């Protein structure tokens, strides 16, 4: 007994395990079954084996039977399919849409149903003005040879170099597959057209300083343009993000642009300084002017009120004077002298018959008071 016969039953690989091995074993058995070659007789019997004449039609029939069995097995094997969680299956039956399958294990009629798998979870990306050399690894961009995509003309007749990315997902698998011949090329063409039109309606400085607003406008209009390519109410793709990577002048004019940019920054700095001075000086001057005006109004009111008061006082005195002229005249004289005399230093009495002035005692000073007092 050989070593192979001594092996335990569980150590032998008696049955094929995979579908390919099953098919291969079945083909071998069929070949042995339909083979015309008989096993040669054991040596030493002295007889020559005789083989019956073989018919070509019999060989053709056997071959057709083998092919038919292979086709049936292949059909059974391919009738089951699996959809991963990130995919959706679209099944066509005799070229016509049949159904859309969710993730999981499904059955289809072999040779009649045709399956298309569409990834609806992963985000697809289109790059404009550059290409990523090493996707999924450390980012390395290549800009050479993509100037036809990135060079654009602004509203003020300046050339600008724009690089951007469009990210999208499949919204409806059936529409994505069969309603537009080349969805990827349609996205690229429409994105480039929309971006050129929007940039062409903006000034150079506005494009440089408002890339977020520019990206939002491109996203909205690009989605509208793509929706027009599909049947009404169906959208094959959803635009997720439009992101502008770089917006710069062409390399040939960068030095001149930098000089202009520096001059523009200097101008803005001077304008800001002047605005700061204006904000500091003008409010102060306005406050001073308002203060002077208010003081003038106050002085005006004071003078008017004083004049009115003097006028009223004069009218009152005039009324009293008309009633008693002598008394009023004397009272006015005494009141006037009462106001004047305390402020004078010397008092002189002049007699019309006297040739020289006669000084009087200074009654307002301490010396004068002491001289008048008795000893």
How many angstroms from the chain centroid is the CA of residue 125? Answer: 18
339, pLDDT greater than 70? yes
Do residues 191 and 223 touch, judged by C-beta distance below 8 A?
A: no
Q: Which of 16-25, 106-115, 158-167, 338-347 has the lowest average pLDDT?
A: 16-25
What are 278-329's pLDDT values in tens digits? Answer: 999 999 999 999 999 999 999 999 999 999 998 998 888 888 888 888 888 8
In angstroms, the CA 126 to CA 4 distance is: 61
pLDDT at 298: 93
333, pLDDT greater than 90? no
Q: What is the pTM of this model?
A: 0.54
For residues 336-364, give the mean pLDDT: 69
How many angstroms from the chain centroid is the CA of residue 228? Answer: 24
**Looking at per-residue confidence, does 153 or 342 come out higher?**
153
pLDDT at 189: 93
Three-class SS of residue 353?
Answer: coil
Q: Which of 7-16, 71-80, 248-257, 318-327 has the lowest average pLDDT?
A: 7-16
> Domain spans of the chain?
80-119, 124-249, 251-344
Q: At what angle do helices 56-78 and 19-34 cross, to 10 degrees?
A: 170
pLDDT at 326: 87
pLDDT at 307: 93
What is the bridge-based pairing of β-strands 131-132 and 87-93? Answer: unpaired
Q: Which of 63-72, 108-117, 201-210, 307-316 has the lowest average pLDDT?
A: 63-72
In angstroms, the CA 12 to CA 134 distance is: 49
What is the H or E stretch that residue 223 is in? helix 211-229
How far is residue 178 from each of residues 84, 191, 236, measured CA to CA in Å? 21, 21, 10
In the block, residue with structure tokens 């169906």: 234
Q: Which two tokens stand for residue 264?
A: 């523009």
pLDDT at 363: 53
CATH node for 124-249: 3.30.479.30
In angstroms, the CA 238 to CA 220 distance is: 11
Q: Which two tokens stand for residue 320?
A: 């009293």
Comparing C-alpha atoms, which of 274, 271, 294 is closest to residue 282?
274
Of the chain, the percentage scoring pLDDT greater than 70 comes to 74
**pLDDT tier at 79, thresholds 50, 70, 90:** confident
Instruction: Give strand pairing partners of 142.
Output: 131
């Amino acid at each position: 007994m050989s070593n192979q016969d001594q092996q335990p039953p569980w150590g032998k690989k008696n049955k094929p395990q995979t579908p390919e091995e099953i098919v291969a074993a079945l083909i071998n058995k069929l070949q042995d079954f339909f083979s015309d070659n008989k096993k040669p007789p054991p040596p030493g019997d002295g007889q020559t084996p005789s083989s019956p004449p073989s018919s070509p039609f019999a060989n053709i029939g056997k071959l057709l039977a083998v092919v038919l069995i292979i086709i049936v097995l292949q059909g059974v094997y391919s009738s089951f399919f699996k959809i991963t969680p990130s995919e959706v299956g679209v099944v066509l039956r005799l070229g016509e849409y049949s159904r859309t399958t969710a993730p999981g294990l499904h059955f289809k009629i072999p040779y009649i149903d045709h399956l298309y798998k569409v990834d609806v979870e992963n985000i697809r990306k289109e790059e404009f003005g550059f290409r990523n050399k090493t996707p999924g690894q450390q980012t390395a961009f290549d800009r050479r040879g993509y100037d036809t995509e990135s060079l654009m003309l602004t509203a003020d007749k300046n050339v600008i170099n724009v690089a951007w990315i469009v990210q999208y997902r499949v919204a409806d698998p059936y529409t994505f597959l069969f309603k537009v011949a080349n969805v990827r090329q349609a996205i690229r063409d429409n994105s480039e057209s929309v971006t050129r039109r929007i940039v062409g309606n903006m000034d150079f400085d506005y494009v440089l300083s408002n890339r977020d607003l520019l990206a939002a406008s491109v996203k909205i209009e690009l989605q509208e343009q793509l929706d027009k390519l599909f049947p009404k109410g169906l959208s094959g793709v959803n635009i997720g993000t439009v992101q502008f990577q770089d917006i710069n002048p062409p390399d040939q004019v960068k030095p001149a642009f930098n000089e202009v940019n520096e001059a523009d920054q200097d101008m803005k700095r001077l304008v800001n300084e002047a605005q700061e001075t204006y904000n500091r000086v003008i409010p102060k001057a306005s406050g001073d002017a308002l203060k002077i005006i208010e003081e003038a109004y106050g002085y005006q009111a004071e003078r008017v009120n004083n004049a009115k008061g003097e006028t009223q006082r004069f009218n009152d005195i005039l009324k009293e004077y008309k009633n008693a002229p002598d008394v009023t005249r004397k009272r006015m004289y005494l009141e006037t002298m009462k106001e004047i005399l305390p402020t004078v230093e010397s008092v002189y009495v002049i007699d019309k018959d006297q040739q020289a002035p006669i000084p009087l005692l200074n009654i307002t000073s301490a010396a004068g008071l002491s001289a008048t007092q008795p000893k």
